């Protein structure tokens, strides 16, 4: 059974020709500053691409299995952001499997901790406990400049 080695959020993943991944700007918190009085819808999404990157250690025989990595993103109120993604593992004998999930926008509509869950499925059934980590979103409201019309 595949075992997780690492699972993180980052701004970008670059994979070299030799298969070595470079992770750019790991993060666990996003701080936004918006003008005072700005209303942010609870389902707002910033046009920021980011990634969930994971590495998995296989056991003998895993290369013959039909595993999928599933990833789910939850708002702080535990509602789901987007769809659960399912990506097929390409497992090679005695080689770690790297998986990159590109996400096209970042949800910013709620302050608090967003939860990222990743797990392994086979035949549409969970075969691993989820890996879980959080990304905190903080929204600061900037005061209006002195003398500015409100």
Is residue 84 one of the residues assigned to a domain? Answer: yes
* Model-wide pTM > 0.95: no
Is residue 149 one of the residues assigned to a domain? Answer: no
Write down the pLDDT at residue 149. Answer: 53
- Rounded to the nearest 10°, the torsion over CA 62, 63, 65, 69 is 80
Is residue 91 one of the residues assigned to a domain? Answer: yes
Is residue 57 one of the residues assigned to a domain? Answer: yes
* Widest Cα–Cα separation across the chain: 70
Q: Write out pLDDT tens, residues 50-91.
A: 999 999 999 999 999 999 999 999 999 999 999 999 999 999
- Identify the burial level of 71 via C-beta atoms within 10 angstroms of its C-beta, where 0-12 means exposed, 13-18 middle and 19 or more buried: buried
101: domain CATH number?
A: 2.60.40.1930
The total number of structural domains that make up the chain: 1
Is residue 103 one of the residues assigned to a domain? Answer: yes
Is residue 130 one of the residues assigned to a domain? Answer: yes
Alpha carbon separation from 102 to 48, 60, 88, 95 (Å, rounded):
11, 29, 14, 22
Domain that holds residue 54: 3-141
pLDDT band at 19; cut points 50, 70, 90: confident
Mean pLDDT in residue range 39-43: 91
Write down the pLDDT at residue 146. Answer: 56
Is residue 106 one of the residues assigned to a domain? Answer: yes
Cα 56 to Cα 2: distance, rounded to the nearest angstrom: 6
């Amino acid at each position: 059974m595949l075992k997780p080695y690492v699972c993180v959020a980052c701004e970008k993943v670059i994979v070299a020709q030799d298969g070595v991944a470079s992770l750019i700007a790991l993060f666990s918190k996003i701080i936004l500053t918006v003008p005072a009085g700005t209303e942010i819808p609870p389902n707002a999404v910033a046009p920021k691409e980011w990634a969930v990157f994971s590495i998995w250690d296989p056991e003998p025989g895993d290369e013959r299995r039909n595993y999928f990595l599933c990833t789910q993103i939850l708002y702080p109120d535990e509602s789901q952001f987007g769809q659960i993604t399912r990506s097929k593992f390409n497992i090679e004998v005695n080689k770690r499997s790297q998986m990159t999930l590109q996400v096209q926008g970042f949800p910013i509509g709620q302050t608090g901790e967003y939860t990222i869950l990743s797990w392994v499925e086979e035949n549409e059934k969970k075969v691993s406990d989820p890996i879980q980590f959080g990304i905190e979103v903080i929204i600061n409201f900037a005061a209006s400049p002195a003398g500015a019309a409100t």
